[in-house]
């Protein structure tokens, strides 16, 4: 048996204790080393303590339930084989029943940003050790949102795969037919790397399955669903943060589409308010029937609530779920991805302990339906609220959309400018999502009326183009305001080396299939040529015929079209120089 440092169960941690220490149940004195080589070599991870690590006790947050497994859970073995090392086992809501992280005899796990607030559950400890930089990544489980809620509350990524994509053999079940092993990481790229190593069919897991995952990213111009009824339970900061997220999604090329929230909400209610809760009881029936007194409240009452249903009740609940699923699935005819807040609000530990049922239910407002309806999901950070607490959003996609979600989620996460968790470390560079084949595209530099926010920008976005970054030309160009153009346009001309100046531009990526129609619509004297950028690279971009410069105004000193237009707008009409070509 592996010798380990064990936390002692306690309902009230000592006043002078480090509240973050409750994140661990078992901390190994030395990491359990993985293979010397592999895609995850050098990384260290923690496992939620309902996931078996051979030779290390598994408690599921209940000391009386403790056992020591002789082998690793399938997912742990795959990660060790990929080169990662295990640091230990993390705290959780007992038997993975809860979304708040306070239902544990090992103590409540605090938020990484403010210890008065919850970390979220049930995978509270796994989220905390990633958010505080103690582990590179961590495994959680997700039945009703336990792999997403803690991510949203701690400014980290929570990847909940499609059901059955990652084996749950060696995981203490919560509701076995819908359980998922989830992944916490500081970045989407790392979470996707871990998923690539962890995924694979397992004939010894009754719910494992072979899934054909989508191999193309979502369109650059994508449609995202937003439920038409979004409760935030009075949290105005959360509502404002979600509105900001919608603005950012628009900037990334998204178009919001209202979707009916009712079938999603009604499906979520079935998880605890129908015979489906019997699966919670079935998961630990052998232990619960003899040791009910060893189970904490309110977990005890929730599990006991599953005892009184008949088989017919369960069948009726399943049928009701399918009816709601059919209604909910109609939204996919109009959208590519669903976007929801990861959680509607933050609660303090004291609030959850005082009102453990209602507030826990609130936390699952946007998560409980996902596994029931067989969707994939990815929780990503979105912003830090004015009160210093994180706000996150979740991308929800059809079963098998895991790599598509990772691609879009990574684009969104990097657009936020946030750092990783509570560590202050910047995000790493965007990573290639291994499961996706990139669509053929062309990079295009624009300098004038096609810039974002300018009159012709729609010619880019309607063709699915997306903004990559802001850049500058090499200092070998001059910019002119062309006469008699509507809307007003500049002309960019290359001159002798050193005879010009760096000119501001935007670099866009356009699907190759739409590039021809875009170029064909460009009027003379403009055209597409090769531009040299300040970093020495070359891209396709707008250029102008030199013969068109007669009567044009040299505006090179402004450094770009946007700056020129701003200066023009700020100049009194009486003092403006006549527009080129004006009579």
Question: Sign of the CA dihedral 120, 125, 127, 131?
Answer: positive
Q: Which position has the token pair 């008699």?
A: 484
- Pick the more confident residue, 129 or 253: 129
Summary mean pLDDT of the chain = 93
Residue 162's pLDDT band, with cuts at 50, 70 and 90, is very high
Strand bridging mode 419-420 / 425-426: antiparallel
DSSP-assigned letters across all residues of 154-218: HTSEEEEPPTTSS--TTB--SSTTT-EEEEEESSHHHHHHHHHHH----TTSTT--------SPP
Q: What mean pLDDT is predicted for residues 60-76?
A: 98
Check whether 42 has a pLDDT greater than 50. Answer: yes
Check whether 3 has a pLDDT greater than 80. Answer: no
Q: What pLDDT score was predicted for residue 176?
A: 97
pLDDT in tens, 23-35: 999 999 999 999 9
Structure tokens at 579: 């527009």
Provide CATH 3.10.490.10 ranges for the chain.
441-575
Do residues 142 and 149 make contact, with C-beta atoms less than 8 angstroms apart? no
Rounded to whole angstroms, the Cα distance separating 121 from 446 reads 47
Q: What pLDDT score was predicted for residue 241?
A: 98
Predicted TM-score (pTM) of the model is 0.78
Rounded to whole angstroms, the Cα distance separating 398 from 12 reads 42
Check whether 274 has a pLDDT greater than 70. Answer: yes
Rounded to whole angstroms, the Cα distance separating 466 from 521 reads 19
Rounded to whole angstroms, the Cα distance separating 420 from 132 reads 9
pLDDT in tens, 279-290: 999 999 999 999
Q: What pLDDT score was predicted for residue 401?
A: 97
Check whether 14 has a pLDDT greater than 50. Answer: no
Rounded to whole angstroms, the Cα distance separating 346 from 343 reads 8
Q: What pLDDT score was predicted for residue 213?
A: 93
Looking at the domain 5-12+19-423, which fold is it?
A: Amidase signature (AS) enzymes (3.90.1300)
CB-side exposure of 35: number of CA atoms within 13 Å? 13
Structure tokens at 236: 């105005």
Q: Which residues are catalytic?
A: 48, 122, 146
Structure tokens at 80: 């060790």
Rounded to whole angstroms, the Cα distance separating 250 from 452 reads 12
Residue 436's pLDDT band, with cuts at 50, 70 and 90, is confident
- Name the residue among 402, 388, 28, 90 with its Cα closest to residue 217: 402
Q: What pLDDT score was predicted for residue 578?
A: 52
Q: What mean pLDDT is predicted for residues 254-282?
A: 96
Rounded to whole angstroms, the Cα distance separating 174 from 277 reads 10
pLDDT in tens, 300-335: 999 999 999 999 999 999 999 999 999 999 999 999
pLDDT in tens, 507-541: 998 888 889 999 999 999 999 999 999 999 999 99
CATH class of 441-575: alpha beta
Provide CATH 3.90.1300.10 ranges for the chain.
5-12+19-423
Q: What pLDDT score was predicted for residue 443?
A: 93
Collapsing DSSP states into helix, strand and coil, what is residue 300?
helix
Q: What pLDDT score was predicted for residue 219?
A: 85
């Amino acid at each position: 048996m592996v010798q380990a440092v064990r936390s002692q169960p306690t309902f009230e941690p000592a006043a002078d204790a480090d509240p973050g220490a409750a994140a661990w149940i078992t901390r190994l004195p030395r990491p359990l080393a993985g293979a010397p080589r592999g895609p995850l070599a050098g990384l260290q991870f923690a496992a939620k303590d309902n996931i078996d690590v051979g030779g290390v006790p598994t408690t599921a947050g209940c000391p009386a339930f403790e056992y020591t497994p002789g082998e690793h859970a399938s997912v742990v073995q795959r990660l060790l084989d990929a080169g990662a090392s295990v640091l230990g086992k993390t705290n959780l809501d007992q038997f993975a029943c809860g979304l708040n992280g306070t239902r544990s005899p090992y103590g409540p796990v605090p938020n990484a940003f403010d210890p008065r607030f919850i970390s979220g559950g049930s995978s509270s400890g796994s989220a905390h050790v990633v958010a505080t930089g103690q582990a590179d990544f961590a495994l959680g489980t997700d039945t009703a949102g336990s792999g997403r809620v803690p991510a949203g509350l701690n400014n980290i990524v929570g990847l909940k795969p499609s059901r059955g994509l990652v084996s749950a053999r060696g995981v203490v079940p919560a509701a076995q037919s819908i359980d998922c092993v989830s992944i916490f990481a500081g970045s989407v790229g790392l979470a996707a790397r871990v998923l690539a190593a962890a995924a694979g069919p397992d004939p010894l897991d009754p719910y494992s399955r072979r899934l054909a995952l989508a191999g193309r990213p979502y369109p650059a111009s994508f449609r995202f669903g937003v439920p038409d009824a979004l409760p935030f339970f009075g949290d105005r900061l959360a509502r404002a943060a979600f509105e900001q997220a919608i603005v950012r999604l628009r900037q990334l090329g998204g178009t919001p589409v209202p979707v009916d929230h009712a079938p999603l909400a009604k499906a979520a209610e079935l998880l605890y308010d129908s015979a489906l809760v019997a699966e919670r009881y079935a998961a630990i029936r052998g232990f619960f029937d003899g040791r009910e007194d060893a189970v904490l409240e309110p977990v005890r009452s929730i599990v006991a609530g599953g005892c009184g249903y008949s088989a017919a009740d369960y069948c009726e609940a399943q049928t009701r779920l399918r009816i709601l699923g059919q209604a909910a699935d109609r939204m996919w005819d109009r959208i590519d991805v669903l976007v929801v807040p990861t959680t509607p609000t933050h609660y303090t530990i004291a609030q959850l302990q005082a009102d453990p049922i209602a507030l826990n239910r609130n936390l699952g407002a946007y998560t409980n339906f996902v596994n029931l309806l067989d969707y994939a999901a990815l929780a990503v950070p979105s912003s830090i609220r004015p009160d210093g607490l994180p706000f996150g959003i979740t991308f929800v996609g059809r079963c098998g959309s895991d790599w598509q979600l990772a691609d879009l989620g990574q684009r969104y996460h990097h657009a936020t400018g946030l750092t990783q968790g509570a560590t202050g470390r910047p995000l790493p560079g965007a990573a290639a999502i291994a499961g996706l084949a990139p669509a053929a595209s062309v990079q295009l530099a624009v300098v004038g009326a096609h810039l974002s926010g300018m009159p012709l920008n729609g010619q880019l976005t309607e063709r699915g183009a997306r903004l990559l970054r802001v850049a500058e030309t090499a200092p070998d160009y001059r910019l002119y305001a062309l006469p008699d153009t509507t809307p007003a346009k500049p002309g960019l001309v290359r001159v002798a080396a050193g005879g010009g100046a760096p000119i501001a531009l935007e670099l866009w990526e356009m699907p190759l299939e739409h590039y021809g129609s875009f170029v064909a619509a460009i009027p003379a004297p403009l055209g597409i040529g090769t531009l040299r950028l300040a970093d020495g690279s070359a891209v396709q971009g707008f250029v102008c015929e030199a013969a068109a410069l007669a009567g044009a105004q040299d505006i090179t000193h402004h450094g770009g079209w946007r700056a020129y237009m701003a200066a023009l707008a700020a100049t009194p009409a009486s003092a403006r120089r006549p527009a080129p070509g004006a009579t």
